[in-house]
Structure 1
Amino acid sequence: MRGRSLAEVAAGAVVLAVAAAFLAYALLHSGRAGAVLSGPTQTFRARFDRVDGVTVGSDVRIAGVKVGSVVDSRIDPQTFLAVLTLRVDGSLRLPDDTSAEITSEGLLGGRYVALVPGGSERILRDGAEITITQSAVSLESLLGRFIFSVTQMNQAREQQQQPEGSGAAAPAPAR
Protein backbone atom coordinates (compact mmCIF):
# COMPACT_ATOMS: atom_id res chain seq x y z
CA MET A 1 0.00 0.00 0.00
CA ARG A 2 2.88 2.34 0.84
CA GLY A 3 4.53 1.77 -2.57
CA ARG A 4 1.31 2.60 -4.36
CA SER A 5 0.87 5.88 -2.45
CA LEU A 6 4.43 6.92 -3.26
CA ALA A 7 3.84 6.21 -6.96
CA GLU A 8 0.63 8.28 -6.92
CA VAL A 9 2.40 11.19 -5.23
CA ALA A 10 5.24 11.04 -7.78
CA ALA A 11 2.76 10.97 -10.69
CA GLY A 12 0.91 13.95 -9.21
CA ALA A 13 4.19 15.87 -8.85
CA VAL A 14 5.05 15.18 -12.50
CA VAL A 15 1.63 16.38 -13.63
CA LEU A 16 1.99 19.58 -11.58
CA ALA A 17 5.50 20.21 -12.96
CA VAL A 18 4.28 19.81 -16.55
CA ALA A 19 1.32 22.14 -15.87
CA ALA A 20 3.68 24.76 -14.37
CA ALA A 21 5.94 24.50 -17.43
CA PHE A 22 2.99 25.04 -19.78
CA LEU A 23 1.84 28.05 -17.74
CA ALA A 24 5.32 29.60 -17.77
CA TYR A 25 5.59 29.04 -21.54
CA ALA A 26 2.16 30.59 -22.15
CA LEU A 27 2.97 33.67 -20.06
CA LEU A 28 6.34 34.22 -21.71
CA HIS A 29 4.98 33.89 -25.25
CA SER A 30 1.62 35.67 -24.91
CA GLY A 31 2.98 39.19 -24.54
CA ARG A 32 1.46 39.48 -21.07
CA ALA A 33 4.70 38.99 -19.21
CA GLY A 34 7.14 41.86 -19.32
CA ALA A 35 4.48 44.56 -19.32
CA VAL A 36 7.20 47.04 -18.37
CA LEU A 37 8.95 48.35 -21.46
CA SER A 38 12.72 48.36 -21.36
CA GLY A 39 14.48 51.39 -22.76
CA PRO A 40 13.03 54.82 -23.50
CA THR A 41 9.28 55.25 -23.68
CA GLN A 42 6.89 57.95 -24.82
CA THR A 43 3.41 58.75 -23.56
CA PHE A 44 0.33 59.70 -25.56
CA ARG A 45 -3.28 60.48 -24.65
CA ALA A 46 -6.39 59.49 -26.59
CA ARG A 47 -10.09 60.28 -25.95
CA PHE A 48 -12.85 57.75 -26.61
CA ASP A 49 -16.65 57.61 -26.27
CA ARG A 50 -16.39 54.04 -24.93
CA VAL A 51 -13.47 51.99 -23.65
CA ASP A 52 -15.35 48.81 -22.72
CA GLY A 53 -12.89 46.10 -21.69
CA VAL A 54 -9.75 48.27 -21.80
CA THR A 55 -8.15 48.77 -18.40
CA VAL A 56 -4.80 49.83 -17.00
CA GLY A 57 -2.32 47.22 -18.23
CA SER A 58 -4.13 46.48 -21.50
CA ASP A 59 -1.90 46.14 -24.54
CA VAL A 60 -1.16 48.84 -27.10
CA ARG A 61 -0.35 47.23 -30.46
CA ILE A 62 0.69 48.19 -33.95
CA ALA A 63 -0.05 45.60 -36.64
CA GLY A 64 -0.77 43.07 -33.88
CA VAL A 65 2.62 43.51 -32.20
CA LYS A 66 2.67 44.76 -28.62
CA VAL A 67 4.46 48.12 -28.46
CA GLY A 68 3.20 49.40 -25.12
CA SER A 69 0.42 49.41 -22.58
CA VAL A 70 -2.35 51.53 -21.10
CA VAL A 71 -1.02 53.24 -17.96
CA ASP A 72 -4.01 55.39 -16.94
CA SER A 73 -7.73 55.64 -17.58
CA ARG A 74 -9.99 58.47 -16.45
CA ILE A 75 -13.09 60.50 -17.35
CA ASP A 76 -12.79 64.07 -18.60
CA PRO A 77 -15.25 65.97 -16.34
CA GLN A 78 -16.12 68.55 -19.03
CA THR A 79 -16.71 66.26 -22.04
CA PHE A 80 -17.44 62.98 -20.21
CA LEU A 81 -15.11 61.19 -22.62
CA ALA A 82 -12.79 58.44 -21.45
CA VAL A 83 -9.15 59.52 -21.60
CA LEU A 84 -6.54 56.79 -21.91
CA THR A 85 -2.85 57.39 -21.32
CA LEU A 86 -0.71 55.10 -23.47
CA ARG A 87 2.98 54.36 -22.88
CA VAL A 88 4.73 53.06 -26.01
CA ASP A 89 8.23 52.20 -27.15
CA GLY A 90 10.27 55.39 -27.45
CA SER A 91 12.05 54.24 -30.60
CA LEU A 92 8.81 54.43 -32.61
CA ARG A 93 8.32 57.61 -34.62
CA LEU A 94 4.55 57.80 -35.04
CA PRO A 95 3.11 60.27 -37.58
CA ASP A 96 0.84 62.96 -36.11
CA ASP A 97 -2.15 61.55 -38.03
CA THR A 98 -1.87 58.18 -36.28
CA SER A 99 -5.24 56.82 -35.18
CA ALA A 100 -6.11 54.78 -32.08
CA GLU A 101 -8.92 52.26 -32.04
CA ILE A 102 -10.19 49.86 -29.44
CA THR A 103 -10.46 46.38 -30.82
CA SER A 104 -10.63 42.81 -29.55
CA GLU A 105 -8.49 39.73 -29.98
CA GLY A 106 -11.51 37.76 -31.15
CA LEU A 107 -15.15 37.10 -30.36
CA LEU A 108 -14.38 36.20 -26.74
CA GLY A 109 -10.90 37.72 -26.50
CA GLY A 110 -9.70 40.66 -24.48
CA ARG A 111 -9.63 44.23 -25.76
CA TYR A 112 -6.60 46.32 -26.60
CA VAL A 113 -5.72 49.67 -28.18
CA ALA A 114 -4.55 49.38 -31.79
CA LEU A 115 -2.47 52.23 -33.19
CA VAL A 116 -2.67 52.73 -36.95
CA PRO A 117 0.15 54.96 -38.18
CA GLY A 118 -0.83 57.59 -40.73
CA GLY A 119 1.18 59.05 -43.60
CA SER A 120 2.05 62.50 -42.29
CA GLU A 121 5.62 63.78 -42.34
CA ARG A 122 5.23 65.33 -38.87
CA ILE A 123 5.89 63.11 -35.85
CA LEU A 124 3.87 62.93 -32.62
CA ARG A 125 5.80 64.37 -29.69
CA ASP A 126 6.00 62.74 -26.30
CA GLY A 127 2.91 63.77 -24.29
CA ALA A 128 0.83 64.60 -27.41
CA GLU A 129 -2.79 63.63 -27.93
CA ILE A 130 -3.91 61.21 -30.62
CA THR A 131 -6.98 62.95 -32.01
CA ILE A 132 -8.28 60.32 -34.45
CA THR A 133 -9.95 57.61 -32.36
CA GLN A 134 -12.50 54.85 -32.77
CA SER A 135 -14.29 53.67 -29.64
CA ALA A 136 -15.10 50.13 -28.63
CA VAL A 137 -18.04 48.50 -30.36
CA SER A 138 -20.50 46.84 -27.99
CA LEU A 139 -21.26 43.31 -29.18
CA GLU A 140 -24.43 43.24 -27.06
CA SER A 141 -25.70 46.43 -28.72
CA LEU A 142 -25.01 45.07 -32.20
CA LEU A 143 -26.81 41.80 -31.42
CA GLY A 144 -29.79 43.70 -30.01
CA ARG A 145 -30.07 45.82 -33.16
CA PHE A 146 -29.79 42.74 -35.36
CA ILE A 147 -32.51 40.87 -33.46
CA PHE A 148 -34.78 43.94 -33.56
CA SER A 149 -34.33 44.36 -37.33
CA VAL A 150 -34.98 40.66 -38.02
CA THR A 151 -38.16 40.83 -35.91
CA GLN A 152 -39.33 43.91 -37.81
CA MET A 153 -38.63 42.21 -41.17
CA ASN A 154 -40.55 39.09 -40.14
CA GLN A 155 -43.57 41.15 -39.04
CA ALA A 156 -43.58 43.07 -42.33
CA ARG A 157 -43.32 39.82 -44.31
CA GLU A 158 -46.26 38.28 -42.37
CA GLN A 159 -48.40 41.34 -43.08
CA GLN A 160 -47.61 41.18 -46.80
CA GLN A 161 -48.44 37.45 -47.02
CA GLN A 162 -51.85 37.84 -45.36
CA PRO A 163 -54.68 37.83 -47.99
CA GLU A 164 -56.54 41.15 -48.28
CA GLY A 165 -60.08 39.80 -47.99
CA SER A 166 -59.44 37.16 -45.35
CA GLY A 167 -61.24 39.09 -42.65
CA ALA A 168 -58.58 38.26 -40.13
CA ALA A 169 -57.45 41.13 -38.00
CA ALA A 170 -53.86 42.17 -38.50
CA PRO A 171 -51.68 41.55 -35.46
CA ALA A 172 -50.81 44.60 -33.42
CA PRO A 173 -47.24 45.77 -33.91
CA ALA A 174 -44.86 44.80 -31.11
CA ARG A 175 -43.70 47.62 -28.89
Structure 2
Amino acid sequence: MQNNFVETLVGAAVIAVATGFLAYGYSIADVGGTEGYRLTAEFDRVDGLTTGSDIRMSGIKVGTVVSQELNPQNYYARVTFRIRSDIKLPTDSSAKITSEGLLGGNYVSILPGGSEDYLENGEEIQFTQGSIDLIGLVGQAIFSAQDAP
Protein backbone atom coordinates (compact mmCIF):
# COMPACT_ATOMS: atom_id res chain seq x y z
CA MET A 1 0.00 0.00 0.00
CA GLN A 2 2.88 2.34 0.83
CA ASN A 3 4.31 1.81 -2.69
CA ASN A 4 1.09 3.05 -4.39
CA PHE A 5 1.11 6.25 -2.32
CA VAL A 6 4.70 7.12 -3.36
CA GLU A 7 3.89 6.44 -7.02
CA THR A 8 0.83 8.69 -6.77
CA LEU A 9 2.92 11.51 -5.26
CA VAL A 10 5.58 11.20 -7.98
CA GLY A 11 2.88 11.19 -10.68
CA ALA A 12 1.25 14.30 -9.18
CA ALA A 13 4.63 16.08 -9.08
CA VAL A 14 5.29 15.21 -12.74
CA ILE A 15 1.86 16.55 -13.76
CA ALA A 16 2.43 19.77 -11.77
CA VAL A 17 5.83 20.37 -13.40
CA ALA A 18 4.42 19.66 -16.89
CA THR A 19 1.56 22.10 -16.26
CA GLY A 20 4.07 24.75 -15.19
CA PHE A 21 6.10 24.27 -18.38
CA LEU A 22 2.97 24.50 -20.53
CA ALA A 23 1.84 27.71 -18.81
CA TYR A 24 5.30 29.25 -19.23
CA GLY A 25 5.49 28.23 -22.90
CA TYR A 26 2.02 29.63 -23.57
CA SER A 27 2.91 32.99 -22.00
CA ILE A 28 6.20 33.30 -23.94
CA ALA A 29 4.86 32.19 -27.33
CA ASP A 30 1.94 34.66 -27.51
CA VAL A 31 -0.30 31.81 -28.66
CA GLY A 32 -3.35 33.91 -27.91
CA GLY A 33 -2.23 36.38 -30.57
CA THR A 34 -0.93 39.89 -30.27
CA GLU A 35 -3.55 42.61 -30.41
CA GLY A 36 -2.59 45.34 -32.81
CA TYR A 37 -2.51 46.24 -36.47
CA ARG A 38 -1.13 44.45 -39.53
CA LEU A 39 1.60 45.78 -41.79
CA THR A 40 3.37 44.30 -44.79
CA ALA A 41 6.87 44.64 -46.20
CA GLU A 42 8.59 43.14 -49.24
CA PHE A 43 12.13 41.75 -49.02
CA ASP A 44 14.48 40.31 -51.64
CA ARG A 45 15.50 37.53 -49.20
CA VAL A 46 13.81 36.16 -46.08
CA ASP A 47 16.19 33.28 -45.29
CA GLY A 48 15.69 32.03 -41.75
CA LEU A 49 12.55 34.07 -41.10
CA THR A 50 9.50 32.01 -40.14
CA THR A 51 5.90 32.57 -39.18
CA GLY A 52 6.00 33.52 -35.50
CA SER A 53 9.40 35.25 -35.71
CA ASP A 54 9.79 38.43 -33.67
CA ILE A 55 9.39 42.00 -34.84
CA ARG A 56 11.71 44.15 -32.70
CA MET A 57 12.50 47.81 -32.15
CA SER A 58 15.65 48.61 -30.15
CA GLY A 59 15.83 44.93 -29.21
CA ILE A 60 12.31 44.89 -27.69
CA LYS A 61 9.65 42.61 -29.17
CA VAL A 62 6.80 44.73 -30.56
CA GLY A 63 5.15 42.23 -32.90
CA THR A 64 5.12 38.89 -34.66
CA VAL A 65 5.39 37.66 -38.24
CA VAL A 66 1.94 36.42 -39.31
CA SER A 67 2.58 35.11 -42.84
CA GLN A 68 5.00 35.01 -45.76
CA GLU A 69 4.23 34.66 -49.46
CA LEU A 70 5.84 35.25 -52.83
CA ASN A 71 4.63 38.30 -54.75
CA PRO A 72 4.09 36.93 -58.29
CA GLN A 73 4.52 40.36 -59.94
CA ASN A 74 8.06 41.14 -58.73
CA TYR A 75 9.11 37.81 -57.12
CA TYR A 76 9.86 39.45 -53.78
CA ALA A 77 8.86 37.86 -50.49
CA ARG A 78 5.87 39.66 -48.95
CA VAL A 79 5.90 39.41 -45.16
CA THR A 80 2.81 40.27 -43.13
CA PHE A 81 3.24 41.03 -39.46
CA ARG A 82 1.23 42.30 -36.52
CA ILE A 83 2.48 45.26 -34.45
CA ARG A 84 1.22 46.08 -30.95
CA SER A 85 -1.46 48.75 -31.01
CA ASP A 86 0.44 51.03 -28.60
CA ILE A 87 3.39 51.28 -31.07
CA LYS A 88 2.87 53.88 -33.80
CA LEU A 89 5.32 53.67 -36.71
CA PRO A 90 6.07 56.72 -38.90
CA THR A 91 5.45 56.23 -42.63
CA ASP A 92 9.18 56.52 -43.43
CA SER A 93 10.20 53.67 -41.07
CA SER A 94 12.46 50.92 -42.38
CA ALA A 95 12.57 47.17 -41.79
CA LYS A 96 15.47 44.77 -42.13
CA ILE A 97 15.93 41.10 -41.43
CA THR A 98 18.62 40.62 -38.82
CA SER A 99 20.21 37.55 -37.27
CA GLU A 100 20.39 36.93 -33.53
CA GLY A 101 23.90 35.59 -34.05
CA LEU A 102 25.72 32.87 -35.94
CA LEU A 103 23.51 30.12 -34.53
CA GLY A 104 20.40 32.14 -33.67
CA GLY A 105 17.28 32.66 -35.70
CA ASN A 106 16.32 35.72 -37.72
CA TYR A 107 13.91 38.49 -36.81
CA VAL A 108 12.66 41.72 -38.36
CA SER A 109 14.23 44.86 -36.94
CA ILE A 110 12.21 48.07 -37.33
CA LEU A 111 13.94 51.44 -37.40
CA PRO A 112 11.38 54.23 -36.92
CA GLY A 113 11.52 57.20 -39.24
CA GLY A 114 10.96 60.86 -38.51
CA SER A 115 7.68 61.50 -40.32
CA GLU A 116 4.74 62.97 -38.46
CA ASP A 117 2.35 60.66 -40.35
CA TYR A 118 1.90 57.10 -39.10
CA LEU A 119 1.33 53.77 -40.82
CA GLU A 120 -2.22 52.46 -40.59
CA ASN A 121 -3.59 48.92 -40.57
CA GLY A 122 -2.85 47.14 -43.87
CA GLU A 123 -0.20 49.59 -45.13
CA GLU A 124 3.27 48.65 -46.34
CA ILE A 125 6.74 49.57 -45.08
CA GLN A 126 8.54 50.85 -48.18
CA PHE A 127 12.18 50.81 -47.03
CA THR A 128 13.44 47.25 -46.51
CA GLN A 129 16.64 45.22 -46.43
CA GLY A 130 16.59 41.45 -46.80
CA SER A 131 18.59 38.87 -44.90
CA ILE A 132 22.29 38.37 -45.50
CA ASP A 133 23.56 34.97 -46.64
CA LEU A 134 26.32 34.35 -44.07
CA ILE A 135 27.40 31.02 -45.58
CA GLY A 136 27.76 32.67 -49.01
CA LEU A 137 29.86 35.46 -47.52
CA VAL A 138 32.15 32.98 -45.74
CA GLY A 139 32.54 31.02 -48.98
CA GLN A 140 33.44 34.17 -50.91
CA ALA A 141 36.01 35.12 -48.26
CA ILE A 142 37.60 31.67 -48.38
CA PHE A 143 37.78 31.55 -52.18
CA SER A 144 39.08 35.12 -52.48
CA ALA A 145 41.80 34.34 -49.92
CA GLN A 146 42.85 31.28 -51.94
CA ASP A 147 43.10 33.32 -55.15
CA ALA A 148 45.37 35.96 -53.59
CA PRO A 149 49.11 35.54 -54.32
Kept in 2, the 8 Å contact 1:35–1:57? The answer is no
Select which of 80, 91, 99 maps to 1:104. 99
**Taking structure 1 as reference, are residues 109 and 25 closer, same or farther at Cα in structure 2, changes over 3 Å only?**
farther
| TM alignment of 1:18-57, pairs within 5 A | 20=18, 23=21, 27=25, 31-34=28-31, 36-38=33-35, 41-57=36-52
**Structure 1 unmatched ranges of 5 or more:** 157-175
Return the letter of the residue paired with 1:110.
G
Once the two structures are superposed, residues 75-123 of structure 1 have per-residue CA deviations (whole angstroms, 9 ceiling, x without a partner) of: 1111000000111111211111111111122211111111111111121
How many pairs align? 148
Select which of 121, 131, 135 maps to 1:136. 131
**Taking structure 1 as reference, are residues 130 and 65 closer, same or farther at Cα in structure 2, changes over 3 Å only?**
same
- Give the match for residue 65 of structure 1: 60
Displaced runs of 4 or more, over 6 A:
12-15
- Structure holding more strand per residue: 2
Asked whether 1:77 is paired with 2:72, we answer: yes
Offset of residue 147 of structure 1: 0.5
d(CA) in 1 for partners of 2:59 and 2:18? 27
Return the letter of the residue paired with 1:73.
Q
TM-score (norm 1): 0.71
The structure, 1 or 2, with the larger RCO (C-alpha pairs under 8 Å, 6+ apart) is: 2
Kept in 2, the 8 Å contact 1:56–1:73? The answer is yes
d(CA) in 2 for partners of 1:82 and 1:131? 13
**Taking structure 1 as reference, are residues 46 and 27 closer, same or farther at Cα in structure 2, changes over 3 Å only?**
same
Offset of residue 126 of structure 1: 1.5
Kept in 2, the 8 Å contact 1:42–1:88? The answer is yes
Across the aligned residues of Structure 1 and Structure 2, the Cα RMSD in angstroms comes to 2.7
| Stretch deviating more after TM superposition (74-83 or 59-68) | 59-68
Percent of residue pairs identical = 39
Return the letter of the residue paired with 1:137.
I
Asked whether 1:148 is paired with 2:147, we answer: no
d(CA) in 2 for partners of 1:86 and 1:65? 15
d(CA) in 1 for partners of 2:12 and 2:138? 46
- Give the match for residue 89 of structure 1: 84
**Taking structure 1 as reference, are residues 129 and 110 closer, same or farther at Cα in structure 2, changes over 3 Å only?**
same
